[in-house]
């Protein structure tokens, strides 16, 4: 027996000599759109001993799309849904009765769209998309996010990551001041460990340290941005420093 020729993804599959070629199974999804999850309900009927969910998605049409899925998604999440009549591979999306509910679409995983990944990962979209927008041909930058759940099926939210992502980015000026503060703190700790004490400041104006000057200039910049008319020398004197 002659061994079959190797086949690359997307190529026609070899058939019997003088017979029509067997085309590779189609991939991707037609008419896939962005859906905003507005409701999630746990269905009583299990599938392979796994929970099944009825997910309602707003797709900017009169009626939302309802899908039944084993994937747990969160309200407010942007997902990709295939509406009735869409082609997912070579399958047509049709309505189906699931636990007394009529579904009107499918929730897409990354493999349905031809994106990189596996069927365990729901295709999600960033906030730059709006309900009803066409799904991109490739996964958006930043990838897709699969929600983590506990043994009871509850969504586990990583509060630490949420807090980090909510923090504003520091400017170069803020980073410079933060670095100077950290250095000053290290020096103070080192001096304290060695039993050294700082000299008592002399009365009267003095020259500001680099850190003090950097903070003062930042305050001056903010006042000017707010429309105030301020002068560096006046601000230095008001803070008890020698004007430059």
DSSP per-residue letters across the chain:
-PPPPP--TTSPBP-STTS--BPPPP-SBSSEEEEEEEEEEEEEEEETTEEEEEEEEE-SSSS-EEEEESS---TT-EEEEEETT-EETTEEP--EEETTEEE-EEE-BTTTTT-SS-TTSB-B--TT--TTPBPPSSPPTT---PPEE-TTSPEEP-HHHHHHHHSPPPPHHHHHHHHHHHHHHHHHHHHHHTT--PPPPPSS-BPPPHHHHHHHHHHHHHHHHTT----HHHHHHHTTB---
What DSSP line would sit under 156-170, residue for residue? EP-HHHHHHHHSPPP
pLDDT for res 186: 84
| DSSP three-state, residue 72 | coil
- Say how far apart CA 111 and CA 176 lie, in whole Å: 46
In terms of average pLDDT, the best of 168-172, 224-228, 240-244 is 224-228
In the predicted structure, residue 104 carries a pLDDT above the cut 90: yes
Is 0.75 surpassed by the pTM of this model? no
pLDDT in tens, 167-214: 566 778 888 888 888 888 888 888 888 877 655 455 678 888 888 888
Q: How confident is the model over 27-38, as a mean pLDDT?
A: 86
């Amino acid at each position: 027996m002659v061994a079959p020729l190797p086949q690359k993804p997307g190529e026609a599959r070899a058939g019997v000599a003088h017979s029509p070629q067997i085309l590779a199974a189609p991939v991707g999804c037609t008419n896939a759109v962005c859906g905003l999850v507005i409701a999630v309900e746990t269905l009583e009927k299990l599938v392979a001993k796994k929970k099944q969910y009825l997910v309602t998605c707003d797709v900017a049409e009169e009626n939302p799309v309802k899908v039944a899925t084993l994937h747990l998604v969160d309200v407010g999440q942007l997902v990709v849904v295939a509406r009735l009549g869409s082609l997912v591979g070579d399958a047509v999306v049709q309505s189906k009765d699931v636990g007394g509910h009529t579904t009107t679409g499918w929730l897409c995983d990354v493999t349905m769209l031809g994106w990189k990944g596996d069927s365990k990962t729901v295709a999600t979209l960033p906030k730059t998309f709006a309900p009803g927008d066409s799904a991109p041909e490739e996964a958006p930058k930043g990838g897709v996010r699969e929600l983590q759940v506990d043994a009871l099926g509850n969504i586990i939210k990583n509060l630490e990551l949420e807090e980090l992502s909510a923090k504003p980015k520091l400017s170069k000026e803020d980073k410079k001041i933060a670095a100077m503060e950290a250095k000053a703190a290290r020096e103070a700790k080192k001096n304290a460990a060695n039993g050294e004490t700082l000299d008592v400041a002399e009365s009267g104006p003095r020259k500001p340290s680099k850190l003090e000057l950097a903070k003062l200039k930042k305050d001056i910049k903010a006042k000017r941005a707010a429309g105030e008319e301020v002068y560096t020398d006046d601000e230095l004197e008001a803070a008890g420093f020698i004007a430059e």
